[in-house]
Structure formats: C-alpha cells, structure tokens
Amino acid sequence: MADTPMVAAHHVRLGSNSGQSMTRKDGLAKVTGKANYAADNRPEGLLHAVFAGASIARGRVTLLDTKAALAHPGVVHVMTPENTPALSQDPDEKTTPFTARIDVLQHNDVRYAGQPIAVVVAETLEAAIEGARLIKAEYDEQPARIGFDDGEAFTPEAVGISTPPKFATGDLEAQRKQAASSVSVVVETPLQYHNAMEPHAVVAAWDGDKLTVDMPNQAIGLAKPGIANYFGIPAENVTLRSPYLGGGFGSKAVLFGPQMLGILAARELKRPVKLALKRDQMFGPVQHRSATRQTVRYDIDADNRLLAFEHQANVSTSSFDNWLDGAANAGLSLYATPAISVAHSGTRFDTGTPGAMRAPGIATGSAVIECAIDMAAEKAGMDPLEFRLHNYAEKDHSNGKPYSAKALRECYETAANAFGWTDRPPKPGQMRDEDGLLTGWGMGTSIFHAPFFPAKARAVLRKDGTARAETSGADMGQGAWTALWQMAADGLGMAADDIDFDIGHSDLPDGSVAGGSAHTASAGGALFAAGNDVIRQLAEIATKDSDSPLFGAGNERLIGENGRLFKASDPSVGEPYTAILERAGIDEIEGQGRGNRDKASTETYAMFSHGAVFAEVKVDPDLYQVRVTRLIGAFAAGRIINPRLAKSQLTGGMIWGMSFALHEEGVHDKRTGRPLNNDFAGYHIPVLADVPHVEALLVDEDDPHVNDLGVKGVGELGITGTVGAIANAVWHAIGVRTPRYPIKIEDLL
Ligand code: MOS
C-alpha cells in the first residue's frame, strides 16, 4: 500500500451521516448476545488454561510441585519454567516503546504478586481452575517494596511512551522574584487498576505455523507483528480477531504475558486453548495506573496573574520495566504561565508494570493542578472561574504556539450557565440543603491532546450500488462501529445502511491504535479518504464518458452523495453511481485511504480538546460522607461525528473522574505485597446509585488545522478536570483539602 493516497476530500463531504446521533450499529448484537467476544469462541477440541499466580511479590520460586495438579481428572498438562520452551523473542527485550516486559514462564524470578508461575491446561474450565489451585510453590522471599517511602528511587529517561521527563521554559527564579504570593500543594494519587467489564482473554488455535487468535485488542496493527515476533513466525501467519472489546482503557493496547501463555499452550498441545483472566488476575500482569506523589506550585503577581508554574511528580513503576505516568506534563499547555518547570522522578514498586490508563498523565496531573489553581484563586480573592479566565492561555506557554482551535471560553460559559455557578458564595461552608447537608460547588478545566495516527482503510463500490468499507479498528464500547461507519458512508457518498462495514480483524488495512483519543480522527479519516478515492476514480470515468451528463466536467468540483455523482455548481447535473459503472462495464472500484494531518500544521499549532466541568457535592456534617449530586461539563473537541456517542464518552469520562476522586484505589498488603482488594467488592468504582445527574454539553468548534476533517477526540477528555472539580467542591462544602486521592472520610475529619 505504498501508493496509498493522502488526500483531502474533494469529491465527497462529511455531513449526511456524520453529525447525526445514530444509535449504535452494534447495539442489537450486543443486547441479544450475538456479539462475539474473544472468550465466547469455542473451536473444536478446545482446552482450557488457567494460570497459578505467585503468592509473594518479590523473590524466587524454589520449588513447584505439580503432581497433585497433574493427577487431577481432566488436567492434561502443566506448564512451568522447567518445561516451557523459550520464546523466539526475549520477553524482557523491548522491541518498540509499546512493548512491555512480560512474564511467560521463562525464569523462576517473582517480580510481583500474581505473576504467572505455572499454567494448568485441562479438558474443562473447572478442572483447570482446580488444577491451578493444587499447584504448590515454595519461595525464597524478599521483602516487598510498595509505596514511595519503601520503593527504590531512580531517575527516569522518559515518561509515557517516549516523552522527556523534564521540561523548563522561561526564568522560574526571575519570575518568582516578582511574585506577590504563591501556593504549593502536595497530593498523592493511588495505584489504580484497569478493570474493563471484559477481562483479558485469548483463544488460540494453531494450524502448523499459522496462528488464529481471538483476543480483545486496541492496536491490531501492533499486536500482529508483536505476536509473530514472540513465536518466530511471519506476521502474515497471524490472524487476529477482535470485533468487540468489553472495555480497554489502554490496557488492551499492549501484549501481556497471560495471553501469550495461552498461545504457547496451544502450540505445545497442538489443540486450541482458551485462557481468560479471572477478575483477581487483573491486578498484576495487565498493567495499571502509576501511583504518584505530586507537588504543584504557582507563583502569582499583585494583579493575580500566574508568573510561574512548577510541577514535580514522583511516579511509580515496576522493578523490571520503566513505564511511568507523565503526571507532571499535564499543566504545560493549560494556563498562561511565563515560566514553567516540570520534572518527574521514579520509584520502583514490586508490582506489575503500569501503563497507559484512560487519560494517562493528564488525569493524574490535572487532579492536583486544578486544586492548586483553586487555592491560587482563593489567595487572589477571586472566584475560581474568574481566576481561570484571568489567566486564560491564548497560546501554549510551553512552546509559544497558537492553539489550532480553543473554544474553552465558550465551554466555561456554557457549563457555568447550565450549572448556575453565579450564585456560588466565595467562602466554604456557606451552603446547606434542606436536609442539612453541607453543599459545595467546584470546577476544573479539562484538556487532552489531539494526536493523529497513520491509519489506513479500504473502500469498494460495486456495480449494484452497494459498497464495502473497512479498517482494522477497535470498538471498546466507545462507539467505533458506529462513528467510523458514519465517516465511511460519507466517504462513499452513501447512506450508512447501504454499505457493508467491517472492523476488528487483522485481514483489514491497519486502522492503527484505538487510543490517545485519536481513533475517530485517524481511522475515520482513513475511511473517509478511502471512499473519496473511490469517488475520485468514479468521477474520472464519468467525465470521460460522452454518454454521461458529467462528460467534460473534469475540471469542475464533483460531489458524490446519496449514491449519485453531481456538479457542485449545479446539483441537478449528475447521475447515479450505478449508471456510470453500468455503462463502463466495471464490476467494482477499490479505493485506499489514509487520513491526513498537515505536517506544517503539526509544527505550527498546539492541538488540544478542551472542556470545563462543574461539580456539586453534599457532605454529611456528622459522618463526613461525600456524595456527588451534580456534574455538568461542556466540551469542545472539533467536529463531532456522533453527538449521542460523544456525550456518552464524555459522561463516562466524568464518571471515571468521580471514581478517581472518591472511590478507586488499589491497596497492597505492606507485609506480602499482595493486592488486598482485587475484586469489585473491595476495589470501589461508582455504581448507578452513586452516579448523580451527569450532563455533558457539546460546544461547537471549528478546527481547520488539527487534521483534514477537523475531528478531535472525546474519549479521555471527560476524566480530566472532573477530579479536581470534585475536590474543589468538597473544599467548598467543608473547607478541607485532603492530601491524597481518593478523598476519604478519615482525611476530612
Ligand atoms: Mo488510551 S489510555 O490511549 O487507551
């Protein structure tokens, strides 16, 4: 596909399908149980694999007794480091920045609790579970180090995938000399574990050296060569199917040990194998959000302008890998700050390795920054919204670039009006409701970068007037099946129901990562371009055909829409696609596409989605129990492809922000290093009864620079801003700021 054209669309336009609040194209399949998730697959001769996890967090396995497991009826094999063949690629080698070091029974070291130490394969799931329970291990145990005061400190080379760990601009000391006051805050955020509804799973089937894998995955184009490398086969021998994911949040963008063990077991036993993680196994080998200890300081002049911003983050990672949440990069482009200094340090915990988790870096960092800004507003004697507007960034102060588009002012206004912010008393503890509950209002700014990935897509128009469009893509529940379908249909100038649409397997052109909130822009841009490429070819045929009403119109702008090609200058002049193909005797036209972001734009502009979130909390004056009662956000993210689904994404993000602020925390036992709350009884997330009135409003934004279609992302935006808004509302209710998240009763007393 070297000659894949990178075209802005000239022959089609977004509009007939895009912009409509279509309901989910995959909705019926999902609610009727027809949607096939990875673990739903049961190929002939299937075996079940269950891994036994280490019960210590650091040390070595000195003895593994597998006799009882092997003797259990139905158990056919137990894999241990002793009998497991080496992979073709060292699983501790990092071949790309996306490659995580994984544990695949290649050594006896234990690096975190729950690390796979043996895999039991059986004829039934029950036998495999029982077999794993019967594995007896002895260890040479070292004390586990979990927590910033216990772990080993180190200086990181990068945060996130490859972002520099330090950044500075302006003269921090010189600005500070002019400051009238400053605020400084230290806040900790906990380990948080990705807990998608669908735990990671794999069904693997080998046919010689060809491999078929059913596995939920956010980045098929990376996973296919990644799996091939581990197993020493050409990438084209791997078929990966991932039509539906029950959530991903970043944890399904990377390959992990347990799923590779399922594939390995299938190769060893020459039968298909299913390995699905149990809920408690999600707390270790499949990444999590780093814990952080952050310090944020703002210096302010006598006119209440921010002069200097300093953010330091101590961030956790594992003992054996280096992924760090980039918390201290969250404020670089947020407020007008002439001097900026941010830096990360690292601390090694005896946990699994962290990774990207919804709004990585920004969620964690903004949770602290938004509190610091509110404290600065308080010091300035200004309303928090007024203070933010007073320090509104008209350019990205980290690099001086203008924003490609920034409708944040409109977001502030829209959300503040909907919330009724003007009635807010400035001092804390002033509002009580009719039940006597202390009521507080707080706000936060949402921001998330707008990256763009080089996705590819294909479209085919057939002579009967039907069409097909496809890209590997991934729907984690965010609505890719629907939004991408809408963009594909607009690309072909047809109704969505008249095209066949396909995503979610590796035979399709690489739709790139569903991550970074860039999937709609990237994969959707590719689909739209592929359709446009078809219609461009169709226009070439029509304008050269003397029997076409479009004959000779080669230099005019032609538009394909509703299955008809016509002159932009006079829509009455045109004809159906089918007529053009029929006369030309052509069965089908195939088009290829990639979305496009102009290189010059990338260098010229700072590209972000923005928003504002307002929160109301009620605090019991006797028990200090905190409840969120209202959350209202307004967001600007360029062109919105499907308002219903965009709001759904933003609402989900805001609820996760609430989860971050009040509920989520992975707790490890200090003595053993084992996770203490590795189930949904102990690992708290908001349930419906916790979720109040949540409203996401969309603000129009025309972004002519971010990419050809002006589409940005909404997947991660909603969590940012919300966390701080809730903490600020708690302060406004009772006048207390807590030193850590989640906000707990004991810290409020
Ligand atoms: Mo995301 S954390 O880019 O899936």
Going by pLDDT thresholds of 50, 70 and 90, the confidence category of residue 280 is very high
**Contact partners, residue 176, CB within 8 Å, separation at least 6:** 182, 299, 307, 308, 339
Going by pLDDT thresholds of 50, 70 and 90, the confidence category of residue 681 is very high
Mode of pairing for the β-strands spanning 238-241 and 210-214? parallel
DSSP state of 402: B
Q: Is the pLDDT of residue 8 over 80?
A: no
Atom number, ligand 1, closest to the C-alpha of residue 358: 2
Instruction: Tell me how far the alpha carbon of residue 724 lies from the centroid of ligand 1, in angstroms.
Output: 20
Identical fold, 359-451+602-748 and 455-596: yes
Atom number, ligand 1, closest to the C-alpha of residue 248: 4
- Two tokens, residue 31: 């609610």
Express as a percent the part of the chain with pLDDT over 70.
99
615 vs 611: CA distance, rounded Å? 13
280 vs 322: CA distance, rounded Å? 24
Atom number, ligand 1, closest to the C-alpha of residue 360: 2
DSSP state of 85: P
Which of these, 369, 370, 391, lies nearest to 380 by C-alpha position? 391
For domain 455-596, the question of CATH label 3.30.365.10 is answered with yes
Catalytic annotation present for 701: no
User: According to the model, what pLDDT value does residue 691 have?
Assistant: 87
Segment 222-243 mean pLDDT: 97
Q: Is the pLDDT of residue 2 over 60?
A: no
Q: Is the pLDDT of residue 100 over 90?
A: yes
The 3-class secondary structure across 150-199, one letter per residue, is: CCEEECCCCECCCECCEEEECCHHHHHHCCCEEEEEEEEECEEECCCCCC
Q: What is the interface pTM, i.e. ipTM, of the complex?
A: 0.97
Three-state DSSP at 611 gives strand
pTM here? 0.97
With a Cβ cut-off of 6 Å, ligand 1 is lined by: 218, 248-250, 253, 356-358, 360, 515-516
User: According to the model, what pLDDT value does residue 4 have?
Assistant: 40
Q: Is the pLDDT of residue 596 over 90?
A: no
Ligand 1: residue of 217, 716, 719 to mutate (most ligand atoms within 8 A of CB) is 716
Q: Is the pLDDT of residue 315 over 90?
A: yes
Which of these, 561, 512, 528, 533, lies nearest to 639 by C-alpha position? 528
Cis peptide before 354 (omega within 30 of 0): no
Segment 712-726 mean pLDDT: 98
Which residues are paired to 306 by β-bridges? 300
Segment 427-456 mean pLDDT: 97
* Beta-carbon-side half-sphere exposure of residue 634 (alpha carbons within 13 Å): 17
Average pLDDT, the chain: 96
Segment 468-472 mean pLDDT: 98
Three-state DSSP at 239 gives strand
**Contact partners, residue 407, CB within 8 Å, separation at least 6:** 610, 636, 699, 700, 701
308 vs 467: CA distance, rounded Å? 56
CA 534 to chain centre: 32
Segment 54-77 mean pLDDT: 98
Residues comprising the chain, all counted: 749
Report the run of H or E that residue 543 belongs to, with start and end: helix 519-543
Atom number, ligand 1, closest to the C-alpha of residue 516: 3
Going by pLDDT thresholds of 50, 70 and 90, the confidence category of residue 3 is very low
The neighbour count for residue 149, using CB atoms within 10 Å, is: 8
pLDDT in tens, 130-161: 999 999 999 999 999 999 999 999 999 999 99
- Two tokens, residue 41: 């697959």
190 vs 265: CA distance, rounded Å? 35
Ligand 1: residue of 194, 217, 358 to mutate (most ligand atoms within 8 A of CB) is 358
pLDDT in tens, 687-704: 988 988 999 999 999 999
Instruction: Tell me how far the alpha carbon of residue 356 lies from the centroid of ligand 1, in angstroms.
Output: 6
User: According to the model, what pLDDT value does residue 486 have?
Assistant: 98
pLDDT in tens, 537-575: 999 999 999 999 999 998 889 999 999 999 999 999 999
- Asked whether 385 and 598 are in contact (CB, 8 A), the reply is no
Domain-wise residue ranges, the chain: 359-451+602-748, 455-596
Percent of the chain as helix, strand, coil, to the nearest 5 = 25, 25, 45
Single-letter residue type at 113: A
Residue 9: C-alpha distances to residues 4, 376, 519 (Å): 14, 47, 19
Atom number, ligand 1, closest to the C-alpha of residue 355: 2
Instruction: Tell me how far the alpha carbon of residue 389 lies from the centroid of ligand 1, in angstroms.
Output: 30
414 vs 443: CA distance, rounded Å? 13
Q: Is the pLDDT of residue 209 over 60?
A: yes
Which of these, 2, 349, 386, lies nearest to 144 by C-alpha position? 349
Instruction: Tell me how far the alpha carbon of residue 515 lies from the centroid of ligand 1, in angstroms.
Output: 4
What are the helix and strand counts (H, E) for the chain? 16, 30
Q: What angle do CA 527, 532, 534 make, to 5 degrees?
A: 100
Segment 204-229 mean pLDDT: 97
Express as a percent the part of the chain with pLDDT over 90.
95
CA 388 to chain centre: 27
User: According to the model, what pLDDT value does residue 217 have?
Assistant: 98
Instruction: Tell me how far the alpha carbon of residue 255 lies from the centroid of ligand 1, in angstroms.
Output: 14
- Catalytic pick among 44, 665, 716, 746: 716
Shortest-distance Cα residue to atom 4 of ligand 1? 250
User: According to the model, what pLDDT value does residue 9 have?
Assistant: 63
Q: Is the pLDDT of residue 535 over 50?
A: yes
Instruction: Tell me how far the alpha carbon of residue 252 lies from the centroid of ligand 1, in angstroms.
Output: 9
- Asked whether 730 and 442 are in contact (CB, 8 A), the reply is yes
Q: Span 359-451+602-748: which CATH code?
A: 3.30.365.10
User: According to the model, what pLDDT value does residue 7 have?
Assistant: 40
